[in-house]
Structure 1
Amino acid sequence: MRLIFLGPPGAGKGTQAKLLTERYGIPQLSTGDMLRSAVAQGSEVGKRAKAVMDAGQLVSDEIVNEIVSDRIEAPDCAKGFILDGYPRTVPQAIALDRMLEQKGMKLDAVIELKVDEGALVRRMENRVAETVAAGGNVRSDDNPEAFRRRLEEYRAKTAPLSAHYAGTGQLKTVDGMADVDTVSAEIEKILA
């Protein structure tokens, strides 16, 4: 099972991907997690990614495509994977299509979580408050100004993916404003 989750930052893609990972035993491939790992390791690509992420912007297609191509060849992806936060642009989607074709793979579904942006800002503020209360570290891009820039970037570059995948017949939409269990149930119906 090879899936893509679409939706703006904070829509719940990561939460739903983790639930499916547990249920189906396939890895969640979060480019955000992979990029943060590269940043933490201090690799050259990590240093470039850090500068971009600290500015509240999205990392370049070149960097992300390279990371994803390598990652989907890993042994734990043999049964499938869930892409969370990738592709972010139509050019990345086209690159992914080529990548998968060259590797003899195909997508099984593209699921978009539809959400209200005003509610997303409130979710982000709550997530930051909960993280701080739990003694955790807050991401450098988890502040209202950076989050609004991420939403603007999403609308400009990522939202067009809906039309791209609708055109392929792969796009399914779910109300991401519902509670976690309801969203999960809707996703399970799509996958059944």
Structure 2
Amino acid sequence: MVRIVLLGPPGVGKGTQAQFIADRYNIPQISIGNILRDAVHSGSKFGKKIKNFMDTGKLVTDELVIPLIQKFIKHKDCRRGFLIDGFPRTFFQAISMKQSNIIVDYVLEFKAPDSFIISRTAGRLIHPSSGRIYHTRFNPPKQRNKDDVTGEPLIIRNDDKELTIRKRLETYHQTAKLLIDYYHQEASNGYVKFFTINSTKSIEEVSTEVTSLLG
């Protein structure tokens, strides 16, 4: 069993590596971003609350997010392990995970300068129904603006536009220090294995490094 958390700012490349890790180790990927976007697309009252946060680049409140994560962790297919992408985002959420007896084996922090993230995010393309991620420069689809698997159109998400990503990066930096410090301490105490990965490398180089760290 392997239980992994991916940390890092929006647009740093966590989603691409999450797909690689989930496939390689045959574990389910729990993407809080996809879960929240699905809720928004549903048009429900709950989804509208979430949309207000996402449209302004703010973090969705813990009161809304934590119950969602707890629900997904309880799924039967998570018994053999799981990968969480985009959660926890705050020190409080990390503490809540531990108090809920959600055990984590590895924490991988992906880092890159804001300028690099903004330039890379500007070319990001998404396949809405699967969550597959492409990039016009770094990871282009085989056919322009078409998903490799289904041939369906790819989109640019509203929260990947430059003004929104700048706000999201600012929010991340305001909340991330305590979270990273917490996991460093957990690693020092032997509760998790913590690694920091340079995401300015190519996708293949990052994937190779991830594989060597996870074994």
Q: Distance in 2 between matches of 1:143 and 1:64?
A: 23
Alignment of 1:112-151 (within 5 A): 112-127=109-124, 130=136, 134=145, 135-151=153-169
Give the gaps of 5 or more residues in structure 1.
Answer: none
SS at match of 1:17: helix
User: Residues 112 and 200 of structure 2 are in contact (CA less than 8 Å); yes or no, is this contact kept in structure 1?
Assistant: yes
Corresponding residue number in structure 1 for 2:200: 177
Q: Distance in 1 between matches of 2:89 and 2:46?
A: 18
Corresponding residue number in structure 1 for 2:98: 97
Alignment of 1:17-166 (within 5 A): 17-99=18-100, 101=101, 105-127=102-124, 130=136, 134=145, 135-166=153-184
Aligned length: 187
SS at match of 2:155: coil
Give the gaps of 5 or more residues in structure 2.
Answer: 126-134, 146-152
Q: Distance in 2 between matches of 1:160 and 1:182?
A: 29
Corresponding residue number in structure 2 for 1:187: 210
Measured on the aligned residues, the alpha-carbon RMSD in Å equals 1.6
SS at match of 1:63: helix
Shift of 1:25: 1.2
Q: Distance in 2 between matches of 1:50 and 1:173?
A: 31
Relative to the length of structure 1, the TM-score reads: 0.92
1:46 maps to amino acid: G
Q: Would you say 1:16 and 2:34 are equivalent positions? A: no
Residue-by-residue CA offset, 1:166-189 (whole Å, 9 max, x unaligned): 001132111111111111111112
The structure richer in helix per residue is: 1
Shift of 1:54: 1.2
**Overall identity of the aligned pairs, in %:** 37
Shift of 1:157: 0.9
Relative to the length of structure 2, the TM-score reads: 0.82
